Chains A and B, each alone.
Chain A
Amino acid sequence: MPTPILHKERLIPGKTSKLVLHAPQIAQKARPGHFVMLRVSPQGERIPLTIADTDPAQGTITIVYLVMGKTTAMLEELNQGDAILDVCGPLGHPTHIEKHGTVICVGGGTGIAAMHHIAKGHARVGNRVVGIIGARSKDLLLFEKELASFVDELLISTDDGSYGHKGLVTDLLRDRLEKDKAVFEVVAVGPVPMMAAVAETTRPFGVKTTVSLNPIMVDGIGMCGACRVSVGGKTKFACVDGPEFDGHEVDFPELRRRLAAYREQERISLEAYQRSAHGN
């Protein structure tokens, strides 16, 4: 049964949107860190998206996506009142959340939305949560208000200095770790280079670092190994063993190469779609 879109918010016009979906079964079971697989049309591809929020009482889940290729471009065409053909979940292991003290949650780009759900989980059990978010410029920042409503501290960086610290999230993170020796865990969600940089920043401090990986997925239920990653020299399936892993153990260069495996086909697919969408 198609999943209705109850609400759509264009966070960054043409680039990033937030959808609130009516999916009571998923809303009931989903925890921070879970994701869904979705498919937009009968000819469509299955893609993974992290659950950015849930409201079990209302029976809703929230997803946030970056328009990157054909499937997300098609998703962007949908509006409130439309429905997504297939939404399957919740998938993956939920984030391991226990009361331990201070947790720093780092988010980059669209990853801020996923990080937000994890940070919320940590705040809920009584951890002291420091949020660090970054983007290229001010207009590309997401979820600032949502995060500000529950984190104990929110630090912001932009590459161009249009808002907050001028520079990278890792500058703020390093600074913070130097001042605060009682940080229990660092969680990072964002583009691969950012997660790799976070892991390198925390390594000398010996702080536990959790990253949420975003490899290519097909089924999302452990049937194929498309999403396999090397963690501590061992092969893991991100969809069933993760998607969260110890950032100090992840082979990021391999993940980056594997993510680019279908770049040519992705281009062909998007161009064919754009041609047909713009009346040939």
Chain B
Amino acid sequence: METSKPKKTVAPRTPMPCQPAAVRRGNFEEVALGYTREMALQEAARCLQCKKPLCVTGCPVEVPIRDFIHQVAQNNMDAAYRIIKSTNSLPAVCGRVCPQEHQCEGKCVLKAKGQPVAIGRLERFVADTYIATTACEQVTGTNACSLPLDGKKVACIGSGPSSLTCAGVCAAAGIRVDVFEALHEPGGVLIYGIPAFRLPKSVVATEIDGLRQSGVEFHLNSVGGRTVDVADLRKEYDAVFIGVGAGLPTFLGVPGENLVGVFSANEYLTRVNLGRAYDFPKQDTPAFPGKNVTVFGAGNVAMDAARTALRMGAESVHIVYRRTRAEMPARLEEVEHAEEEGVQFAMLSAPLRFNGNAELHLTSVTLQKMELGEPDASGRRRPVPIAGSEYDMPTDLAIVALGTRSNPILLDATPDLVKTQRGYIQVHEETGETSIPNVFAGGDIVTGAATVILAMGAGRRAGQEIVRRLRG
């Protein structure tokens, strides 16, 4: 660090208005309200317009960040939108849910001098502001749709971020796309997982409508590996993309886990988000009520579950994590929001067992204190139990958010697919092609549980390869 030169002061990043914590913990409305045009212009003006923009290298789909921010600074939102859309099919989603501090904003040169440019907030502003004037614009970012290619058809299995992106890339090139989704609503984790207070359903619906209008057809209630299978789809389509995610939840494997009151985060969030249990009994799906809620894990899903439980009327919500705050994998903004809303953190604690009453209802969880030892294979210091440190935490609703594994349904039904040692689909790194010719895969079913934007990056690469082959 040079200390002799006086540092040029950099203006702080423009804050984003939010619903006050006391208000928002009583509703499912979006927490972060987004920039106004003035705020966006002010924030865009902070960008140094680097000759070699490092921010772009931090973005998994390589959005031309410098160029779109330049257009924002010129108050030219249409042009900014087209630039973003050239590589990103779901900017309104990514601007909201990407962990920017580890991606684009982590690479921003201003970070060293203070705070990086708020790239995610600007991307979100542009996407929210831009109102598509033609159907095709939602997908292609231009006024013109590509001419349909005669008879070329692509099938996408799953309708989460990777499949939607692959479908968008193909549709933009004039290829007919059929998307097969197991649930009754498209969107994958954007619909059943990420709560409305982070990602309003209307945002997802708008992006999906854009795809529909560009010729993508959605077949709901169609389970890949059950209702439709890869072998059949290969006969009917020129290429198949598998983007079924890694939906199978992991449990803790401690005694008492099947007591009434212990849930996977997937179940709890699916009931509340997809089933809209927050509006029970107007909506038919109930969610299990909990006064004292304990959530296990410290990723985004754990934050989502904890903040959802608060909004569902919990009196206290604890997040239990084996390590410390510094190792928490969740997006920084979500951790801060959770804290502001009253979520409490029990760090360096691990569950030993769940305890129940005669009706087999959960009453408490026995935890053990941990301390940090030597770094493990992941480079993080390994938590080591402290003998004799056991304590009970009263709990009537426990939510396990420890990640997910690959769902066996499609894999078992498609034995030809070569899998990795960890049980995910093996693909060619550059093209995304699987061991079956013209069958591609991407997203969590290839990488294991990761982020929305990484899944989109994989969907985009596979989509581009499919377009190249079908056009060639």
* A residues lining the B interface (CB < 8 Å): 1, 25-26, 29, 39, 41, 43-46, 70-71, 85-91, 218-219, 221-226, 228-230, 235, 237, 240, 251, 253-254, 257-258, 260-262, 265-266, 268-269, 272
Cα–Cα distance between A91 and B285 once the two chains are bound (Å): 20
B133 to chain A, nearest CB (A): 30
Is B258 among interface residues, defined by CB-CB distance under 8 A?
yes
Q: Is the CB of A25 within 8 A of B228?
A: yes
Interface core residue of B221, B227, B281, B408 (most chain A CB under 10 Å): B221
0/1 string, B269-305, CB within 8 A of A gives 1:
0110001100011111110100000000000000000
Q: Is the CB of A257 within 8 A of B260?
A: yes
Cα–Cα distance between A258 and B192 once the two chains are bound (Å): 23
List B contacts of A266 (CB < 8 A): 286
Q: Is the CB of B226 within 8 A of A89?
A: yes
Give the residue name and chain of the B residue nearest to A39 (CB). B184
Given A86-B220, A87-B221, the answer on whether A221 and B267 have CB atoms closer than 8 Å is no
List A contacts of B260 (CB < 8 A): 257-258, 260-261
Is B2 among interface residues, defined by CB-CB distance under 8 A?
no
Is B223 among interface residues, defined by CB-CB distance under 8 A?
yes
Q: Is the CB of B182 within 8 A of A261?
A: no
Q: Is the CB of B407 within 8 A of A262?
A: no
Q: Is the CB of B284 within 8 A of A45?
A: yes
Q: Is the CB of A225 within 8 A of B266?
A: yes
Q: Is the CB of A226 within 8 A of B267?
A: yes
Please choose the segment from B7-15, B73-81, B206-214, B247-255 that sits at the chain A interface, where 4 or more of its residues have CB less than 8 A away. B247-255
The 19 sampled A-B contact pairs (Cβ below 8 Å) are A29-B226, A43-B283, A45-B285, A46-B184, A85-B184, A86-B184, A87-B221, A88-B223, A218-B267, A219-B270, A222-B408, A222-B409, A223-B249, A223-B266, A228-B258, A235-B251, A251-B258, A258-B258, A272-B281
Cα–Cα distance between A13 and B251 once the two chains are bound (Å): 43
Of B226, B247, B285, which contacts A223 at CB under 8 A?
A: B247
List B contacts of A254 (CB < 8 A): 258, 360
Interface core residue of B249, B266, B281, B409 (most chain A CB under 10 Å): B281
Cα–Cα distance between A265 and B283 once the two chains are bound (Å): 11
Of A88, A89, A224, A260, which contacts B264 at CB under 8 A?
A: A224
List A contacts of B192 (CB < 8 A): 219, 223
List A contacts of B222 (CB < 8 A): 25, 88
Q: Is the CB of B270 within 8 A of A224?
A: yes
Q: Is the CB of A257 within 8 A of B270?
A: no
* B residues lining the A interface (CB < 8 Å): 182-184, 192, 220-223, 226-228, 247-249, 251, 257-258, 260-261, 263-264, 266-267, 270-271, 275-276, 280-286, 288, 359-361, 407-409
Cα–Cα distance between A229 and B260 once the two chains are bound (Å): 12
Q: Is the CB of B286 within 8 A of A269?
A: yes
Cα–Cα distance between A251 and B258 once the two chains are bound (Å): 11
Cα–Cα distance between A39 and B285 once the two chains are bound (Å): 11
Cα–Cα distance between A259 and B409 once the two chains are bound (Å): 25
B335 to chain A, nearest CB (A): 25
Give the residue name and chain of the A residue nearest to B229 (CB). A29
B281 to chain A, nearest CB (A): 5
Cα–Cα distance between A174 and B407 once the two chains are bound (Å): 40
Q: Is the CB of A88 within 8 A of B227?
A: yes
A239 to chain B, nearest CB (A): 9
Given A88-B182, A240-B408, A272-B281, the answer on whether A262 and B249 have CB atoms closer than 8 Å is no
Cα–Cα distance between A218 and B361 once the two chains are bound (Å): 20
List B contacts of A260 (CB < 8 A): 260
Give the residue name and chain of the A residue nearest to B286 (CB). A265
Cα–Cα distance between A84 and B409 once the two chains are bound (Å): 25
Q: Is the CB of B281 within 8 A of A265?
A: yes
Q: Is the CB of A218 within 8 A of B226?
A: no
List B contacts of A272 (CB < 8 A): 281
Cα–Cα distance between A218 and B265 once the two chains are bound (Å): 13
List B contacts of A25 (CB < 8 A): 222, 227-228
Q: Is the CB of A235 within 8 A of B257?
A: yes
Cα–Cα distance between A240 and B412 once the two chains are bound (Å): 11
Given A29-B226, A45-B275, A230-B258, the answer on whether A240 and B281 have CB atoms closer than 8 Å is no
- If A218-B271, A223-B248 are given as contacts, then 10 extra A-B residue pairs at C-beta distance below 8 Å, sorted by A number, are A43-B282, A46-B184, A88-B182, A88-B183, A90-B227, A219-B270, A221-B182, A223-B267, A223-B270, A265-B286
Of B227, B276, B281, B359, which contacts A89 at CB under 8 A?
A: B227
Q: Is the CB of A222 within 8 A of B359?
A: no
Q: Is the CB of B270 within 8 A of A29?
A: no
Of A71, A91, A230, A257, which contacts B284 at CB under 8 A?
A: A71
Give the residue name and chain of the B residue nearest to A239 (CB). B409
List A contacts of B227 (CB < 8 A): 25-26, 29, 88-90
Interface core residue of A222, A225, A237, A262 (most chain B CB under 10 Å): A225
Cα–Cα distance between A266 and B228 once the two chains are bound (Å): 33
Q: Is the CB of B258 within 8 A of A221?
A: no
A231 to chain B, nearest CB (A): 11
Given A43-B283, A89-B223, A254-B360, the answer on whether A262 and B288 have CB atoms closer than 8 Å is yes
Q: Is the CB of B409 within 8 A of A224?
A: no
Q: Is the CB of A235 within 8 A of B258?
A: yes
Cα–Cα distance between A219 and B266 once the two chains are bound (Å): 10
Give the residue name and chain of the A residue nearest to B288 (CB). A261
Of B184, B223, B359, which contacts A91 at CB under 8 A?
A: B223
Give the residue name and chain of the B residue nearest to A224 (CB). B267
Q: Is the CB of A257 within 8 A of B249?
A: no
Cα–Cα distance between A261 and B192 once the two chains are bound (Å): 22
A176 to chain B, nearest CB (A): 34
Cα–Cα distance between A90 and B409 once the two chains are bound (Å): 12
Would you list the 5 A-B pairs with minimal beta carbon distance, nearest first? A224-B267, A265-B286, A45-B284, A88-B221, A257-B360
A160 to chain B, nearest CB (A): 31
Interface core residue of A1, A223, A253, A254 (most chain B CB under 10 Å): A223
B50 to chain A, nearest CB (A): 43
Cα–Cα distance between A261 and B268 once the two chains are bound (Å): 14
Cα–Cα distance between A87 and B283 once the two chains are bound (Å): 18
